[in-house]
Structure 1
Amino acid sequence: MAITAQPSTDGQELTIAIQGRFDFGAHQEFRDAYERVSIAPKRYVIDLEGTTYLDSSALGMLLLLRDHAGGDHARISLVNCNPDVRKILSISNFGQLFQIT
């Protein structure tokens, strides 16, 4: 599993890409990806194109990011979801909390 964080050139957006399994083993690496950046982004993009598996702890980590990013005012997009990941997000009603594309 690899998690990378890439800020936009203007510092307004942070893209976090997750490769492989997104589960409890990714907790610290995922947190570091958004807490240890030198910018304060207004938008977050979570790129799940390479994500092969997502469990309940990953859902919890996304909620922690949402709290960190401003709660109800957070602007977080979950992008490039494969059908299995999209199904888990849908069942969990994450479409109410995040923009899913």
Structure 2
Amino acid sequence: MKMNVRQDGEVVVIEMGGRFAFSTHRDFRKKVDELLGRGSKKLIVDLSQVEFIDSSALGMLLMAREQARLIGGSLALVNPAGYVRKILDLAQFQRIFPILPSVDEAVIAVSGVAAGVRE
């Protein structure tokens, strides 16, 4: 799994690539813990380059969303394609997360009052 983190104003974009699976999900958790620990509340996970996702990665996304929510933050997902989109749809993640087609739209969504995120 590849992971790149960049700042877009108040929003942190985590760009993921490759396989987001059990063997790599701990790196994601560690990064989210670090970002939230230093005060970042608005997170975007860009899944456009992720080719595979498994249940442990889904669990990490849920955990990250909950951690952000507990500190008054929000988390959005961006541009999952193919297999990853299919898995997110089967898991009904669109009912939990804003899933947006672009980082720009996600920045707008998380900059509001957790737009699209259901409690």
TM-score range, shorter chain: 0.7 to 0.9
1:4/1:33 contact within 8 Å kept? no
After TM superposition, give the deviation of residue 92 of structure 1 in Å.
Answer: 0.3
Map of 2:64 onto structure 1: 65
1:45/1:76 contact within 8 Å kept? yes
3-state DSSP class of the match of 1:24? coil
Q: Which amino acid aligns with 1:36?
A: E
Deviations 1:14-42 (A, max 9, x none): 11111100001112210122222374223
Structure 1 residue runs of 5 or longer lacking an equivalent are none
Separation of aligned partners in 2, 1:77 and 1:14: 11
3-state DSSP class of the match of 2:23? helix
Map of 2:45 onto structure 1: 46
Separation of aligned partners in 1, 2:7 and 2:28: 15
Q: Mapping of 1:1-101 within 5 angstroms?
A: 1-8=1-8, 10=9, 12-37=10-35, 39-70=38-69, 74-101=73-100
Moved more, 32-41 or 91-100: 32-41
After TM superposition, give the deviation of residue 76 of structure 1 in Å.
Answer: 1.5
Q: How many residue pairs end up in the alignment?
A: 98
Q: Which amino acid aligns with 1:79?
A: V
After TM superposition, give the deviation of residue 78 of structure 1 in Å.
Answer: 0.8
Separation of aligned partners in 2, 1:51 and 1:28: 16
After TM superposition, give the deviation of residue 7 of structure 1 in Å.
Answer: 2.4
After TM superposition, give the deviation of residue 56 of structure 1 in Å.
Answer: 0.7
After TM superposition, give the deviation of residue 74 of structure 1 in Å.
Answer: 4.6
CA 1:98–1:74 in 2, change beyond 3 Å: closer, same or farther? farther
Q: Which amino acid aligns with 1:90?
A: D
